Amino acid sequence: MIPIIEDKSQQISELTKTNTVGTSDYAAVVQEILDNVKERGDAALIDYTAQFDGAEIAAIRVSEEEITDGMAKVDPAFLQVLQRAKANISEFHEKQVTQGFMLTRNGAVMGQRVLPLAKVGVYVPGGTAAYPSTVLMNVIPAKIAGVQKIVLVTPPLQDGSVNPAILAAAKVAGVDEIYRIGGAQAVAALAYGTESVPQVDKIVGPGNIYVAAAKRLVYGTVDIDMIAGPSDVLIVADETANPVHVAADLLAQAEHDVNAQAILVTTQRSLAEATQKEVAQQTEQLPRKAIIEQSIAKNGKIILVENLERALAVANEIAPEHLELAVADPFAWLDQVENAGSVFLGHNTPEVLGDYLAGPNHTLPTERTARFYSPLSVDDFVKHSQYLYYGEAAMKAVADDVILFAETEGLGGHANSIRLRKGE
């Protein structure tokens, strides 16, 4: 049963302890996989796919014919949902596009260019746990940014095929190439390149602990979006919240993973107790009951606080991936939210809306990293390049300042570069 904890002026850190697992424990085994793929290329990918996914594959890349066949297996109604989701996600992310600028000052010209990345790899969990929503959320911002090539990797089913829903989402979103590989080995292939898989500039998308560890280890060879840990939700609720809905939203996160985190922070003991009962009752009816029970036992909790100010202080300390404000006037409290990946306002905005259809991205910072990370956006798929021009007169006008700066730092060569142009 999900426990109820009374605040009683405890340190927030004591209230919010979790039992998540870090990537460091997996570094050695993952590094071995990375090195093997780097050395053996496609052969290592085929071996690991047989070992970890139970699939014997002859071709690593998914053919256009397979994509077409996969699309035909998808419910036409779901294809329409994918298109509607694409429209919503596109509309939201198009507002994120930024432009470069040019500045002129006393004969000098300077500016900044915004350039799309050339190649991006998108990791999508596959097999029996397929997430076509992840395809849309990771690919659409990259397309809007103008990325030249988008490569998708996803683990195959045991017969070697790729889940049709993922193929459909990839086609709708505009993926250029699809490869039937997963796990740390797929991350290695994207980072280093193989005979079949192109090396990319950045890897995005969630995965299990092995994928997260691999992304951490290849960072620097390529860029990554973030190290995604277990999913989490924190719900701040007052007396107007419905315990049936609150419990359902907690369980929607708990079913993701045994390490997922579901927390309710409320001012109302009656709501806490009613939600506690609802969590137990609803769990019995859900297909992922075994996962939910482990998740709730490890990281589920209900925290009773004196007022909503304290509730927001707890939320800001936890810095949740998803924050629901299930209160009477959620917009009145929005400005007090400092740390959260995405905020869901009011009683009719469950986090699940953001997972699939609404428009804001669902790739969010986890494990308190909302303190310094942001949701995936168009900005993740561009780079900024600066430029600078000085005419002769403009250069000579600032020459003495530059020379003094350089000499103060003890860099005579720097000073000489300007002094010679000045004519000294």
Q: Catalytic amino acids?
A: 321-322
Residue 160 φ/ψ region, left for φ over 0, alpha for ψ in the -120 to 50 degree band, beta for the rest = left
One-letter amino acid of 241: A
Can you tell me the distance from the alpha carbon of 7 to that of 314, in angstroms, rounded to the nearest whole number? 10
Residue 347 annotated as lining a ligand binding site: no
For 77-114, give one letter per residue: b (16+ CB within 10 A) or e. Answer: eeeeebeebbebbbebbeebeeeeeeeeeeebeeeeeb
- Give yes or no for a contact between 163 and 127, defined as CB atoms under 8 angstroms apart: yes
Tokens of 192: 């280093």
* CA quadruple 273, 275, 278, 280: dihedral sign: negative
Residue 208 annotated as lining a ligand binding site: yes
Can you tell me the distance from the alpha carbon of 64 to that of 96, in angstroms, rounded to the nearest whole number? 32
Residue 123 annotated as lining a ligand binding site: yes
Residue 409 annotated as lining a ligand binding site: yes
* Cα radius of gyration (the chain): 25
Helical segments of 158-233, H only? 164-173, 183-192, 209-218
Residue 90 annotated as lining a ligand binding site: no
Strands 108-116 and 101-105 come out as antiparallel
Can you tell me the distance from the alpha carbon of 327 to that of 359, in angstroms, rounded to the nearest whole number? 23
Residue 9 annotated as lining a ligand binding site: no
Residues 6+ apart with CB under 8 A from 270: 239
Residue labelled with tokens 């403009």: 394
Residue 294 annotated as lining a ligand binding site: no
Residue 256 annotated as lining a ligand binding site: yes
- Give yes or no for a contact between 97 and 144, defined as CB atoms under 8 angstroms apart: yes
Tokens of 47: 């071996």
Can you tell me the distance from the alpha carbon of 61 to that of 48, in angstroms, rounded to the nearest whole number? 15
Can you tell me the distance from the alpha carbon of 195 to that of 179, in angstroms, rounded to the nearest whole number? 12
CB burial class (10 A; 0-12, 13-18, 19+) of residue 165? buried
Show binding-site residues for substrate.
231, 253, 256, 322, 355, 409, 414
Binding site as annotated, residues for NAD(+):
123, 185, 208
Annotated binding site: 123, 185, 208, 231, 253, 256, 322, 355, 409, 414
Which positions make up the binding site for Zn(2+)?
Answer: 253, 256, 355, 414
